[in-house]
Amino acid sequence: MSQSWSMSWLTVPTPLPSGPMHIAVTPLGVAAAGYGERAGESPRCTDESKTAAVTDRIGEYLSGRRRELGLPIDWSLSTGPHRAVLRTLLSVVPYGRTITYGELAARSGVFEDVAEPGLAARTVGQMMAANPVALLVPCHRVVAADGIGGFGGGRVGIDVKRWLLTLEGVLEPTLDWNGPL
C-alpha cells in the first residue's frame, strides 16, 4: 500500500561504470533502484538506519563480500505480468547464474498463450529494461540466447551489466576490470 508520496530517496556510491545508484525507500522496503545519480529526486531519505542498511549492503555486494542484498522490496511499482516475471527472476536465478530472455518467459508462466516466435523473449527484454528495482531483482542475469543481450542505459548500461556479471563470475575479468579480486 505504498504511495509515491511516501518514497524518500538516497544516493549510494558505487564502483560501477554508471557511478552512484539512486534508491527510493518506503515503509515497506526498496521501491526503486537505478544506475546513475538522478538530480532532484525528493524528498531525501532522512532515516539513518534505512540509509545505512541500503548503503552498507549494496557496498558489500559490489565489493564481493555479499551474494544477496537481503533488503526488503516494495513491489508497488510493478504489477501483473511484469511483477510475475520479476518475482520469477528473483526466485530462480541465483548469484553467478544467468537465464535467457526466452527461458525466463517460459519459467514465469506469463506467456503460455503467446504463439508468435520470439515475442515472449522480446517482451521479457522490455520488462527487464523497465525493472524498477534494478540490482535487487537482478535483471543483469538475463541474457540473450546468443550473447549478453541488452541493458538499459545504452553503452554505459552494457558496461554495468558486464561489470556485474564479471563480479558474479559469469564472465572472465578483462584487463581493465576494476572490481574486487
* From 93, 99, 139, 160, active-site residue: 139
- Residue 121 in any domain: the answer is yes
Structural domain that includes position 141: 78-167
Q: Has residue 152 got a pLDDT over 90?
A: no
> Which three cell numbers mark 155?
553503452
Confirm whether 176 is domain-assigned: no
Q: What is the pLDDT of residue 18?
A: 94
Instruction: Evaluate whether residue 109 is within a structural domain.
Output: yes
In whole numbers, what is the pLDDT of the chain averaged over residues? 93
Give the separation between CA 90 and CA 135, rounded to whole angstroms: 10
Q: Is residue 67 part of a domain?
A: no
| Residues 88 and 163 placed together within one structural domain of the fold | yes
Pair 88, 29 in one domain: no
Q: What is the pLDDT of residues 1-48, one digit of tens each?
A: 444 458 999 999 999 999 999 999 999 999 999 998 777 778 999 999
Residue 68 included in any domain = no
Assigned domain for 72 exists: no
110 plus 47 within the same structural domain: no
One domain, residues 43 and 124: no
- Predicted confidence at residue 6, as pLDDT, reads 87
Report the C-alpha gap between 45 and 31 in whole angstroms: 13
Residue whose C-alpha cell reads 541474457 in the numeric block: 143
pLDDT of residue 129: 94
CATH number at residue 105: 1.10.10.10
* Domain assignment of residue 180, yes or no: no
Is residue 164 within 8 A of residue 140, CB to CB? The reply is: yes
Amino acid 91: pLDDT: 97
**Residue 118 within any structural domain of the chain:** yes
**Structural domain count of the chain:** 2
- Asked if 172 contacts 151 with a C-beta cutoff of 8 angstroms, the reply is no
Same domain, residue pair 86 and 17: no
pLDDT in tens, 93-113: 999 999 999 999 999 999 999
Give the SS3 label for residue 174: coil
Does the annotation mark 139 as catalytic?
yes
Q: Are residues 87 and 56 in the same domain?
A: no
